[in-house]
Structure 1
Amino acid sequence: MSHVAGSAVLEVRLLGPVELWAGSRPLPVGEPRQRAVLAALACDAGRVVTAETLIDRVWGEAAPARARHTLQSHLARVRAALRRGGADPLVRRSGGYLLDLPADRVDLLRFRALADQAHGDLGRLREAVGLWRGEPLAGLAGEWAASMRAAWDRERLAAVVAWAEVEDPVAVIGPLGALVQEQPLVEPVAVALMRALHAIGRTADALGQYEALRRRLADELGADPAPATQAAHAAVLTSNGDAATGPAEPAPAQLPADVAGFAGRAEALATLDKVPTLAVVGGSAGVGKTALALHWAHRAAARFPDGQLYVDLRGFGPDGTAMDPGEAVRGFLGALGVPAPRIPAEPAAQSALLRSRLAGKRLVLVLDNARDSDQVRPLLPGAGSCMTVVTSRNQLTGLVAADGAHPLWLDVLSPAEARELLDRRLGPDRTGAEPAAGDAIIGLCARLPLALTLAVAHAVMQPRLGLAALADGLAGTRERWSTLTGDTPGTDVRAVFSWSYEALSPAAARLFRLLGAHPGPDFTPAAVGHAEELAELARASLITEHTPGRYRLHDLMRAYAEELETDPGARDEAAARLLDHYLGLAAAGAKLLAPARFAPILPIEPAAGLADAAAAMRWFAAERAVLLAWAARTGGDRPWQVAWTLDTYLYRQGPWHDLVTVWEAALATVRDEPARAYAHYRLARAWTLLDRAAEADRHYGLSLEVYERAGDTRGQSQVHHEMAILRERQGRMREALTHAERALELSDHSSVNTLNTIGFYRAQLGDFAGALEACERALALAEESDEDIRAAIWDSLGFIRHGMGEHDAAIECYATALELYRRVGDLYWVADTLVHLGDVHRDRGHEALATAAWREALGLYEELGHANAAEVRTRLS
């Protein structure tokens, strides 16, 4: 019976037990691990979540040894649950998985959107609060679930307090009373209840709530209520509402103008909305820290009726002279109405007076361009009713560690945010007319807001200038820096970068220059060494630790670093040293993945550091993009060596277009004839995997021509074997068998792989006895072969036994093949074997087992983006 719900809307609920709904009907999700996988995807719906992140969220430190395989099984079952709702929103993307649902289909994300957009809107706040059904992620165990429950509950409390401020006081007393019982030390909830009780005339009860709160704080924390709570209590005592907290002087309004055409940063803005008192916005030069802080402060101004204070602390500027914090304190005191003669002489007394003037008030303070934590601390309010936003190129870890600041790290804009910036500044008509040029401008500006803003300014000032012409200008180094230079130091990209660079120690400055030799997109400390200098660069935001243990420079920063290094010899030496590091580990990894594989024609010295094949797979997954960048950037024999080391990993994991990329790069530079023949052969193999027969045939022919001229029978055998596979994929089985038999003849009848291929083709042609003889002979010779070759033999034996009607034996063969393929991480052949295993189960009449195998195969084919997925869907229909 079908479980498909037609066009019903899929919805995931996390604010309570994890549930999946199709319209008004709940769908079964499965056991807790599957619900955890669904929750781990849904809380980031619309964004790619890496497999490593999913494993960490679902298992944490208790992850099983084969967590990735187990995760794939859970994902297949989650996908099956989603399909029962009539949709398939679980998508495999490069680097992870995407639950492609609109934000309003996940209650957590809908709650956040409503809370963020409410701004006192009672309807939105009611809907947001009403989405909560109990304890979020109820029934899920583990550290991630527990931390999310705690974090989301803080968001709920903030929303409830905001709702209570605008709702009928009678309606909020019950829910607030329950919350006070649940969270007895959360002062804003108690204050909201006090105000509601006072508003309906129950002043004695309101005062009783305050007294109970005061006792709880004293008994459990040894603390007094916060100044804002005391001020609310005083207001109740005097029956004078907000008068007790209102300013005696005109409210200061020091914020500079909001940023015209501000675009993107929705997640960062939402984060600032949730920070209670102190946030540190960090990031590299030109990334838009000040723009974000000012835009948020203007947007949130209504929440801070006592005013806004702003100061540029000049931590990084053209003259290198940071503002003395005492100067900033005195400026704030003056803005708060303190006459100059009444400001104490001692800095400590000045800061104490500032805290006194801010106590009980609701102000927002923007401390822009801070040098370090010590420059900021004298300016911080002591009261919890103010909000302070600090921006800095340095990380200000002291404020985070000692002052409880919430760190918010800004990276370059996402592609969508960068496009939004162009559309807002230039108008969608102009950008829509030249979309490719707009994308080029975004790429050449490295999605850096300052660079994009300057490029856009050129386009605005020259309305007849086509965006393609602007992109062409940016493509040249000299023209790019000219375009990205405004009429003040603060609008000159290189000048802004230089203020951070010039503050470095000499050793860190040298390391930064040499990092320009790294092709990107990121690197580990192991690749570059110099841990102390690397940490200094990170603190200065010249490099970004975008994931734990991995650093990057955006493209403009890399170009700036490369330009600073004026010694070509030093740059070339650094590049060679870096590439040797990567090639050494890549060669070691390649040998671990396929120990019996043909040794490289152009030798590579393997390096120590990878323990086993599993470690090699993890290393290649992390460094794949770096190795691809090296293949594109370097010359001579190096691209060939990169391609050789990557080949097995890329073949097994499925990004076969990358195989084409690296072998084409190898062919573009290598001159050694045997190496060129090998590159043609591997490139043809990649085109075969992509079902591009014409390209494959051409490169097989070029490879075979060189091998025949050189009398290299081993090379000829390899090419004929792969040509056999191409003919098989074309459905030309007789020709495939002919090529395979020629390959075996050229290998002196000793090639295990070719014997297995011949056996499989004989089975395809109905000669099961001849097939069994070839494959059993291959198996007898395969003791020293790589695991993937032995897996292929067992897979062929499963096919043969199935064709002979020996179903139990076929299942055993396929099970052995699956175990070996999974061990080496070959996703395509795992899927292929699962399809055949499902076929055996179907023929035995075991429909449930067949369906399970096919569904798992379908999930893997979809991850790979492989056309075989359509064939499996037909089996499942």
Structure 2
Amino acid sequence: MLEVRLLGPVELWAGQEQLPVGEPRQRAVLAALACEAGRVVTAETLIDRVWGETAPARARHALQSHLARVRGALRRGGGDPLIRRSGGYLLDLPADRVDLLRFRALADGADGDVDRLREAVRLWRGEPLAGLAGDWAASMRAVWDSERLLAVVAWAEVEDPAALIGPLGAIAREQPLVEPIAVALMRALHAIGRTADALGQYDALRRRLAEELGADPAPATQAAHATILTSNQDAAVGSREPVPAQLPADVTGFAGRVDALGYLDKVPSLAVIGGSAGVGKTALAVHWAHRAADRFPDGQLYVDLRGFGPGGTAMDPGVAVRGFLGALGVPARRIPAESDAQSALLRSRLAGKRLVLVLDNARDSDQVRPLLPGAGACVAVVTSRNQLTGLVAADGAQPLRLDVLSHGEAQELLGRRLGPDRIAADPVAGDTLIGLCARLPLALTLAAAHAVMQPEIGLAALADSLAGWSAPVGDTPDTDVRAVFSWSYEALTPAAARLFRQLGVHPGPDFSAAAAGALLGSADELAELVRSSLLTEHAPGRFLFHDLMRAYAEGLAADPGAADRLLDHYLGTAFAAAMLLTPTRAAPIRPIEPGGEPLADQAAAMRWFAAERAVLLALAARSGGDRPWQLAWTLDTFLYRQGPWHDLVTVWQAALGTVRDEQARAYAYARLARAWTLLDRAAEADRDYRLALELYDRAGDLDGQSGVHHEMAILCERQGRIPDALAHAERALEISDYGNANTLNTVGFYRAQLGDFAGALECCERALALYEQSGDADNRAAVWDSLGFIRHGLGEYDAAVDCYETALGLYREIGDLYWVADTLVHLGDTHRACGREALATAVWREALAIYEDLGHANAAEVRARLS
């Protein structure tokens, strides 16, 4: 289910997956629509909100482009709630799927309900519309911040004071001059016995008001201060027991992780932070514990359990328990000998207290359990490279999976480590460093350390020096990325370690369990790698390496046959999938052995290609001999139907780079030229078609020549040269019977465009009869589209509509997006000719949405029809 978040950075979510929205203006368009979800927003309003007084002359055109990309992002989440309405656009989402609107509903109807107010306040993730510039964004922040403060004050009046300290403290730091928040924080601190801190808050507020505004606190604030000052409670509730403060120093230059910090703020008792080596689990846990220290007046406990590290020897949990008991003031002689009794004593000492426990670098759930507090107000945060599903399942732990930093967070980290001036002096080099370090916090920290130690070296030179490394290397095992990875690798079972090495030959970006099986890996071994955070299951059944982890795996020795087994798996499955999509397609010039994953039907084939497209493209780029040609052949129909035509250019150029057989090269040139045609690159298309003709002529291949002339006809059509298009189509029919039905349909369509409807009808009906015999859905759709055009030309509009709708059904069945849009345009023309304007507008809008998603130039033609 789609969700838009505005109370922080603008984000789009589908369930637990964050979807990319794009650059700031696209996020601004989404925000401008989302804050009024369910209501029409005019184009003029959107332009004003996105650009304000700096709107360009072609702002309406730019807005359409941004709307198309927003629509694409929404569709990737499984919905299409962006609706064009008369006078503007409507984002058709329920109010509870936009955090701002949900906040307002909760706060407005709370009437003292603590649960509603608590939920409303927790929806805030930071500065609203963070990262968006302009007057509209600034004014909305001011308005929404005012609403937030009212809700926070109302919440503070009914919430347990202990639960208020952390959130109120954070807001007070953000808004240091807002007196109602300061008063609420003072009262909460006083209520839990921290009267001295409450009075300190007042003194700090008074000084800030005097220095910045030249004013005294308001009467209500002074009255609250007087009440606390004269209270009978002690100014500071003490204890004879020590208050442990074991946290390591807070992380220097900590950056980002706003959502993760907010998630930890909401954890009631136990959290498990998982993730790969170097991703910043410890840094997050320690930073959060420092930030939340106000919530835990009885102290902080910390231990490195050494679950992963040099030597592979994890800490015995009894050692950690005894260390905690000593920190809590239990003399060594009073600690029982039995491990169960030690854990029971720890739980007793923690009962009734508010402490935070950071259990760092845990190996497994059993190592952690003896250290956990019982019921109460303590919070334990565990970090581990393993997922510790036992704690989640049996102990109610809240899991938090940590990934690499976003690009913006990585920039922030470098800026804090190196200083903004050094980054500003060479931002391109900074971005290069981020790329080399793959946004991994540990690697970025190491790179920054190298830069700090060598201030005379520019960032560009540093980036050049790092470019040859798989990762920056530190001077101790703890700060050497490869050493840190090795600790996890060496803890694997032999079978899982072997699979890890084999996976180093996979080109990425991700892979399925079946691909791992081709490398002789079992489901158990794959699961072990995921548990160990050496792999991430980022989608059900899809796995990936972190980039630096991949580099580490590539450096390990896989057996010589691994790469061939992997390529055979993908190529065999791709061949089977391609034949499902076009069963009548001629077999490739170079035979391919079918195999790999079983696929049931066309829909399964399309899904498989969609999932493995990036992998197949990577294999085509890195393979040699005939393999790139074979991969391009298998991908051709899928890429042609779905619209990533630049990928068609890529794979066929890769094929031409390695294949030597002349007929195979001719075929590749013809397919490459067709891709250029789809991209409206006429000069390149004409060049490559002529190269294909030359090679086919040299080989005496008449079928090949006929096919090229047929494709050249389509190129001429797209240039508006219909007589030349007809000449090429008739030449194709004259040379060979190859593709006879397809060529007949093409000849018929061009004759219709030139006004010869009788001759056109004869050709297309002959073509349809041939296709009906063969069951070729792809080409039958094209004939029905031509027949629709002919019937329209003859004035038989109802028959034309029937033909177009038949074509649409067939094109949708095979998933050919471009031809769905093309046929919709023709259908709209027929509806308009009949006077059915509403129907014409509806189908043109659908066509426009498809063209915009494809980034196709035909979108402008459809916009003209709609204007």
Q: CA deviation at 1:698?
A: 1.6
1:639 equivalent to 2:628? Answer yes
1:680 equivalent to 2:669? Answer yes
Give distance in 2, aligned partners of 1:168 and 1:659. Answer: 62
Give distance in 1, aligned partners of 2:346 and 2:353. Answer: 12
The aligned residue for residue 714 of structure 1 is 703
Q: CA deviation at 1:466?
A: 3.3
Give distance in 1, aligned partners of 2:106 and 2:446. Answer: 33
Give distance in 2, aligned partners of 1:48 and 1:298. Answer: 41
Q: 1:595 aligns with which of 583, 588, 600?
A: 583
**Quick check: 2:632–2:655 contact (8 Å CA) kept in 1?**
yes
1:585 equivalent to 2:573? Answer yes
Q: 2:550 aligns with which of 542, 558, 562?
A: 558
The aligned residue for residue 375 of structure 2 is 383
**Quick check: 1:128–1:159 contact (8 Å CA) kept in 2?**
no
Q: 1:859 aligns with which of 836, 849, 853?
A: 849
Q: CA deviation at 1:462?
A: 2.4
Q: CA 1:447–1:262 in 2, change beyond 3 Å: closer, same or farther?
A: same
| CA shift digits 1:134-168 (9 cap, x unpaired) | xxxxxxxxxxxxxxxxxxxxxxxx99997666337
1:79 equivalent to 2:71? Answer no
The aligned residue for residue 450 of structure 1 is 442
Name the amino acid aligned to 2:680: D
Q: 2:806 aligns with which of 801, 813, 816?
A: 816
Q: Secondary structure at the match of 2:373?
A: coil
Q: CA 1:317–1:245 in 2, change beyond 3 Å: closer, same or farther?
A: farther
RMSD: 3.6
Q: Secondary structure at the match of 1:816?
A: helix
Map 1:767-806 to 2 at 5 A. Answer: 767-783=756-772, 784=774, 786-806=776-796
Q: CA deviation at 1:498?
A: 0.6
Q: Secondary structure at the match of 1:366?
A: strand
Q: CA deviation at 1:406?
A: 1.0
The aligned residue for residue 649 of structure 1 is 638
Q: CA deviation at 1:288?
A: 0.9
Map 1:375-414 to 2 at 5 A. Answer: 375-414=367-406
Name the amino acid aligned to 1:561: A
Q: Secondary structure at the match of 1:541?
A: coil
Q: CA 1:323–1:468 in 2, change beyond 3 Å: closer, same or farther?
A: same
The aligned residue for residue 486 of structure 1 is 474
Give distance in 1, aligned partners of 2:342 and 2:580. Answer: 66
Name the amino acid aligned to 1:422: L
Give distance in 1, aligned partners of 2:346 and 2:755. Answer: 91
Give distance in 1, aligned partners of 2:629 and 2:635. Answer: 10
| CA shift digits 1:557-591 (9 cap, x unpaired) | 122112121x6xx2x41011011111111100000
**Quick check: 1:372–1:394 contact (8 Å CA) kept in 2?**
yes
Q: CA deviation at 1:378?
A: 0.7
Map 1:270-281 to 2 at 5 A. Answer: 270-281=262-273
Name the amino acid aligned to 2:529: L
Q: CA deviation at 1:754?
A: 1.4
TM-score between the two structures when normalised by the length of structure 1? 0.76
**Quick check: 1:245–1:361 contact (8 Å CA) kept in 2?**
no
**Quick check: 1:10–1:85 contact (8 Å CA) kept in 2?**
no
Name the amino acid aligned to 1:590: A
Map 1:87-236 to 2 at 5 A. Answer: 106-108=100-102, 128=120, 166-167=156-157
Give distance in 1, aligned partners of 2:286 and 2:765. Answer: 73
**Quick check: 1:306–1:362 contact (8 Å CA) kept in 2?**
yes
1:415 equivalent to 2:404? Answer no
The aligned residue for residue 58 of structure 1 is none
Residues 362-371 or 425-434, more deviating: 425-434
Map 1:443-842 to 2 at 5 A. Answer: 443-476=435-468, 479-481=469-471, 484-529=472-517, 530-565=522-557, 570=559, 572-607=560-595, 609-748=598-737, 751-783=740-772, 784=774, 786-842=776-832
Q: CA deviation at 1:797?
A: 0.8
Q: Secondary structure at the match of 2:380?
A: strand
**Quick check: 2:271–2:397 contact (8 Å CA) kept in 1?**
yes
Q: CA deviation at 1:439?
A: 3.3
Name the amino acid aligned to 2:733: L
**Quick check: 1:126–1:163 contact (8 Å CA) kept in 2?**
no
Q: CA 1:754–1:420 in 2, change beyond 3 Å: closer, same or farther?
A: farther
1:847 equivalent to 2:837? Answer yes
Q: CA 1:591–1:504 in 2, change beyond 3 Å: closer, same or farther?
A: same
Give distance in 2, aligned partners of 1:749 and 1:295. Answer: 70
Structure 1: segments with no counterpart, 5+ residues = 1-6, 28-44, 55-70, 91-98, 115-121, 133-157, 172-191, 200-238
Q: CA deviation at 1:339?
A: 2.2
Q: CA deviation at 1:88?
A: 8.2
| CA shift digits 1:259-303 (9 cap, x unpaired) | 122222222222212221111011111111111111211222222
Give distance in 2, aligned partners of 1:389 and 1:48. Answer: 38
Give distance in 1, aligned partners of 2:528 and 2:618. Answer: 26
| CA shift digits 1:785-806 (9 cap, x unpaired) | 5211110110011111111111
Q: 2:314 aligns with which of 322, 326, 331?
A: 322
1:360 equivalent to 2:352? Answer yes
Q: CA 1:776–1:633 in 2, change beyond 3 Å: closer, same or farther?
A: same
**Quick check: 1:13–1:19 contact (8 Å CA) kept in 2?**
no
Q: Secondary structure at the match of 2:537?
A: strand
Q: CA 1:243–1:377 in 2, change beyond 3 Å: closer, same or farther?
A: farther
Q: CA deviation at 1:435?
A: 4.1
Structure 2: segments with no counterpart, 5+ residues = 1-28, 47-68, 109-113, 125-147, 162-183, 192-230
Residues 550-559 or 399-408, more deviating: 550-559
Give distance in 1, aligned partners of 2:107 and 2:307. Answer: 35
Give distance in 2, aligned partners of 1:330 and 1:575. Answer: 51
Residues 379-388 or 453-462, more deviating: 453-462
Q: CA deviation at 1:412?
A: 2.0
| CA shift digits 1:395-430 (9 cap, x unpaired) | 111111110111111122233332332333334444
Q: CA deviation at 1:594?
A: 0.7
Q: CA 1:531–1:126 in 2, change beyond 3 Å: closer, same or farther?
A: closer
**Quick check: 2:30–2:70 contact (8 Å CA) kept in 1?**
no
The aligned residue for residue 304 of structure 2 is 312
Q: CA 1:833–1:48 in 2, change beyond 3 Å: closer, same or farther?
A: closer
Give distance in 2, aligned partners of 1:251 and 1:159. Answer: 33
Q: CA deviation at 1:612?
A: 0.3
1:437 equivalent to 2:406? Answer no
Q: Secondary structure at the match of 2:276?
A: coil
Q: CA deviation at 1:683?
A: 0.9
Name the amino acid aligned to 2:756: D
Q: Percent identity?
A: 73
Q: 1:350 aligns with which of 326, 330, 342?
A: 342
| CA shift digits 1:827-852 (9 cap, x unpaired) | 11111111111111111111111111
Q: CA deviation at 1:50?
A: 8.0
Q: CA deviation at 1:480?
A: 4.2
Give distance in 1, aligned partners of 2:70 and 2:232. Answer: 48
| CA shift digits 1:480-513 (9 cap, x unpaired) | 45xx111211100110001001111111111111
Give distance in 2, aligned partners of 1:258 and 1:790. Answer: 68
| CA shift digits 1:844-870 (9 cap, x unpaired) | 111111111111111111211212222
Name the amino acid aligned to 2:346: L
